[in-house]
């Protein structure tokens, strides 16, 4: 018999209990042993839940029970989730998690502690919900040097952008719709300002390149400045605007960033709409592979949590070849002003400004003129160079969105 | 030091040697040991290949060398690939393969022999080329009951269908283009008649449901009857025609089949064009996830072969929880005449036939009239029922294509 404990009986926690219960037979067959949830830690009581009798309020009864060997942390937030995780790993208990904040912030330390104490720390559910991505990066793509990963990693913002693009809904209205459907929190900042995606970008960068960046320090723009006019304009040029978490290694330096991007409709990420997520990996041997599916939700995320639990129960923790991360220092980090890509620029201007713009930007691609608006796509230019040219041309800028 | 042998120095074999050489440092770091190719078996000599000195012509020198613990079989064809694989496994050597014919035909026996002799038999490269799908089914989706898998699993036919749809190219011409680009063999039968996809469907069905069907006995239609008119008509109705390998479990019976299908453009498989493959998995906890990428090609397929080699070298074979298959008997197989789906039917008929057709088919969806042609989508009907109704209406049938 293998005893597990769950930390948190919120959405993902109750989903995990449900998966472990509903598919108990299947899971026990794979594991080759009986699997029992012994405790569920939560501050609240759940008298009406079928799992209510398992609820405890005191973490120490889990930590001090030697029968518990696998712990699933689904509390959300950095504390006490990090502290409980660390205590479990120090005690040699393996931990799986859906908590991207803890993985992105403390992953290096927790992976090291796990390795030192014969435990495993797995986090398939922390990126892309139910979509397999962490294990495929570690195992299926093991023979490859990954060069870049671009992902739609936040379903809330993708839903909002899809509504804006397909229905012409203004941002505020689309956000309200997302909230009423339960896709967005009452305080939506972590989603719409990009921090949620930034944490996931940091985790993917660390999986690909072995270095953990600071999720609060990477370049991060949300979607609050995107208008329905932008999405319509992009569409007319053959692009869809997506919030893209992007990481790449260039000249030995690592870039991780989040920003809205014009994605060509021919790119597999260009057709991913609504709350779905997609992650496109570019690697030297395999070329490009994409993983697509539900990036959030109770049972999909729980499926990923339980796949990690099964992994630990099937193999001993020492049989799982965990990644080794180090925290990136300044020399590892790509200097963002040098980041080069093409951009859509929209100026408040008329045709009379074309000479000025051509003088500053050279070729103006996909040029569009509308009353009082002049839009075009630039050649690939660095961030710093783009700033300079925009400033030099002396025209009011309305929108500036990178291409993928 | 771990010694490996490769069977076959064709496209995938030379790709595998290239991956193992180019990314040697990366691979050895993951494995935690040195990895050396000791032999490459081929009938030919390769005096100009960098791997030419490793080539041997006698299988027994591999079989009898106790240093060789991992063998990658990339010979193609059933024999002697099956025989060599079996000999290796009986000798306790683990085997990985890209050979879908061997896996689909002899997988049950070879997995059993591997388990009995402390070896592993892995075949990530046998379906979807470089796309991770076999390991994700085994590990990432482990907590799920898979209910269905639908895939575009043959790049050659997808290239041909894409050319027909986007360029209006006739089938024969599109096939010639595929051949001149090296996407299709000179004898293209296994691709265009669907057998290649059928073998992959059988492997996916066995991974999902534990039962191996006979790849030569499953319902299998290729794309030779599809015309550019069909693809244009489908497009006008919001569909793309794809050769779909499909497997599902219904009422405890297993269906695996290959046929052209009208795929809604809103389905993630609907946008997969050219030589790319995509595999959509439906499972009870995760919902739907899709895996997309290069379904063939030297280095992508080799990437999958080497990922399996690394898996064996990282874990001992006993640390790999291999699937257990049994060969399906008649009672396991879904009776195809009962298979129910909607279909596009194109009759040689005029508007005067509408009364007859409505009497036979009830609702006619997406009805289109063209000179001498009457096209519509039926309600979901069984195969047998559809046969009967077509026969009853007494009109010449031009096309009949299932919807996904």
ipTM entry:
0.96
CA-based nearest residue in chain B for residue A132? B140
Predicted confidence (pLDDT) per residue in B263-279, tens digit:
999 899 999 999 999 99
Predicted confidence (pLDDT) per residue in A170-227, tens digit:
999 999 999 999 888 889 999 999 999 999 999 999 999 999 999 999 999 999 999 9
Residues B308, B353 share a domain: no
Residues B105, B25 share a domain: yes
Supply the pLDDT for residue B119: 97
Which residue range(s) make up the domain with A350? 337-403
Question: Which residues of chain A make contact with B272, given a CB cutoff of 8 A?
Answer: 268
Supply the pLDDT for residue A251: 87
Of B290, B324, B287, B319, the closest CA to residue B144 belongs to: B287
C-alpha angle with apex A47: A41 to A52, nearest 5 degrees?
A: 40
Cβ distance A171 to A227 under 8 Å? Answer: yes
Q: Are residues B19 and A302, on separate chains, in Cβ contact within 8 Å?
A: no
Long-range contacts of A161-167 (CB under 8 A, 24+ apart): A161/A223, A161/A226, A161/A231, A161/A240, A161/A241, A161/A242, A161/A243, A161/A260, A162/A273, A162/A274, A164/A226, A164/A227, A164/A228, A164/A231, A164/A241, A165/A228, A165/A231, A165/A232, A165/A234, A165/A235, A165/A240, A165/A241, A166/A273
Residues A35, A79 share a domain: yes
Dist CA A122 CA A94 (whole Å): 8
Tally of domains within chain B: 3
| pLDDT by residue, tens only, chain A of 404 residues | 999 999 999 999 999 999 999 999 999 999 999 999 999 999 999 999 999 999 999 999 999 999 999 999 999 999 999 999 999 999 999 999 999 999 999 999 999 999 999 999 999 999 999 999 999 999 999 999 999 999 999 999 999 999 999 999 999 999 999 999 988 888 999 999 999 999 999 999 999 999 999 999 999 999 999 999 999 999 999 999 999 999 999 889 999 999 999 999 989 999 999 999 999 999 999 999 999 999 999 999 999 999 999 999 998 887 888 899 999 999 999 999 999 999 999 999 999 999 999 999 999 999 999 999 999 999 999 999 999 999 999 999 999 999 99
pTM above 0.90?
Answer: yes
Residues B274, B168 share a domain: yes
First CA to last CA distance, chain B:
50
- Among all chains, which residue has been given the structure tokens 């609060």? A216
Q: Is residue B116 classed as helix, strand or coil in its secondary structure? A: helix
Provide the pLDDT confidence category of residue B234 given band limits of 50, 70 and 90: very high
How many CA atoms are closer than 13 Å to the CA of B155, on its beta-carbon side?
Answer: 24
Residues B386, B373 share a domain: yes
The minimum CA-CA distance between A398 and chain B, rounded to whole Å, is 32
The minimum CA-CA distance between A382 and chain B, rounded to whole Å, is 30
Dist CA A284 CA A50 (whole Å): 49
Residues A209, A269 share a domain: yes
Q: Is the peptide bond prior to B41 cis by the omega test (within 30 degrees of 0)?
A: no
Q: Is residue B381 classed as helix, strand or coil in its secondary structure? A: strand
Say whether pLDDT at B347 is over 80: yes
Residues A389, A285 share a domain: no
Residues A316, A358 share a domain: no
Q: Are residues B143 and A311, on separate chains, in Cβ contact within 8 Å?
A: no
Q: Are residues B287 and A131, on separate chains, in Cβ contact within 8 Å?
A: no
B231-259 mean pLDDT: 96
Question: Which residues of chain B make contact with A293, given a CB cutoff of 8 A?
Answer: 286-290
Dist CA B53 CA B50 (whole Å): 8
Question: Which residues of chain A make contact with B144, given a CB cutoff of 8 A?
Answer: 23, 26, 303
B234-246 mean pLDDT: 97
CATH number of the domain residue B255 falls in: 3.30.360.10
Dist CA B243 CA B194 (whole Å): 8
C-alpha angle with apex A256: A254 to A261, nearest 5 degrees?
A: 130
Question: Which residues of chain B make contact with A158, given a CB cutoff of 8 A?
Answer: none
Residues B140, B112 share a domain: no
Q: Is the dihedral of CA B266, B254, B81, B314 positive or negative?
A: positive
Name the DSSP class of A212: E
Residues B159, B262 share a domain: yes
Say whether pLDDT at B88 is over 80: yes
CA-based nearest residue in chain A for residue B28? A143
Instruction: Give B168's contacts (C-beta < 8 A, 6+ positions apart).
Output: B228, B232
Residues A122, A6 share a domain: yes
Supply the pLDDT for residue B24: 98
Q: Is residue A201 classed as helix, strand or coil in its secondary structure? A: helix
CA-based nearest residue in chain B for residue A304? B140
Dist CA B77 CA B101 (whole Å): 6
Q: Which of B86, B93, B100, B200 is catalytic?
A: B200
Beta-sheet strands, E only, within B65-191: 68-73, 94-97, 121-122, 146-152
Q: Are residues A141 and B307, on separate chains, in Cβ contact within 8 Å?
A: yes
Structural tokens at position A385 = 């160079």
The minimum CA-CA distance between B42 and chain A, rounded to whole Å, is 23
Calculated CA dihedral for residues B85, B90, B93, B95, nearest 10 degrees: 30
Is B354 domain-assigned? Answer: yes
Question: Which residues of chain B make contact with A23, given a CB cutoff of 8 A?
Answer: 143-145, 284-285
Is A331 domain-assigned? Answer: no
Of A24, A65, A54, the closest CA to residue A313 belongs to: A24
The minimum CA-CA distance between B278 and chain A, rounded to whole Å, is 9
Test mutation, A35, A144, A281, A286, chain B, max B CBs within 10 A: A286
Supply the pLDDT for residue B184: 87
């Amino acid at each position: 018999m293998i005893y597990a404990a769950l930390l948190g009986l919120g959405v993902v926690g109750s989903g995990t209990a449900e998966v472990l219960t509903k598919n108990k037979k299947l899971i026990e067959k794979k594991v080759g042993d009986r699997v029992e949830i012994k405790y569920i830690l939560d501050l609240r009581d759940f008298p009406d839940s079928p799992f209510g009798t398992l609820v405890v309020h005191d973490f120490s009864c889990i930590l001090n029970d030697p029968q518990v060997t696998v712990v699933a942390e689904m509390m959300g937030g950095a504390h006490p989730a990090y502290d409980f995780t660390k205590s479990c790993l120090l005690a040699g208990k393996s931990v799986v998690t859906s908590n991207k904040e803890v993985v992105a912030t403390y992953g290096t330390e927790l992976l090291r502690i796990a390795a030192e104490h014969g435990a495993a720390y797995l986090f398939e559910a922390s990126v892309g919900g139910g979509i397999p991505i962490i294990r495929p990066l570690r195992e299926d793509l093991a023979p490859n040097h990954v060069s870049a990963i671009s992902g739609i990693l936040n379903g809330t913002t993708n839903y909002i952008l899809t509504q804006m693009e397909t229905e012409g809904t203004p941002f505020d209205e689309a956000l309200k719709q997302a909230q009423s459907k339960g896709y967005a929190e009452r305080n939506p900042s972590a989603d719409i300002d990009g921090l949620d995606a930034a944490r996931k970008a940091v985790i993917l960068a660390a999986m690909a390149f072995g270095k953990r960046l600071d999720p609060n320090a990477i370049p991060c723009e949300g979607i609050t400045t995107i208008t329905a006019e932008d999405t319509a304009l992009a569409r007319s040029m053959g692009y869809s605007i997506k919030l893209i978490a992007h990481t790449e290694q260039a000249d030995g330096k690592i870039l991780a960033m989040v920003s809205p991007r014009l994605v060509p409709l021919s790119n597999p990420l260009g057709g991913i709409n609504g709350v779905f997520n997609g992650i496109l990996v570019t690697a030297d041997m395999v070329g490009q592979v994409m993983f697509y599916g539900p990036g959030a939700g109770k049972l999909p995320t729980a499926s990923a949590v339980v796949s990690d639990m099964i992994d630990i129960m099937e193999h001993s923790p020492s049989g799982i070849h965990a990644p080794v991360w180090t925290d990136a220092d300044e020399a590892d980090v790509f200097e963002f002003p040098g980041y080069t890509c093409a951009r859509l620029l929209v100026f408040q201007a008329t045709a009379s400004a074309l000479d000025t713009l051509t003088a500053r930007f050279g070729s103006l691609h996909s040029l569009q003129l509308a009353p009082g608006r002049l839009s075009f796509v630039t050649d690939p230019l660095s961030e710093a160079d783009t700033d300079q040219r925009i400033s030099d041309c002396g025209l009011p800028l309305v929108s500036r969105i990178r291409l993928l």
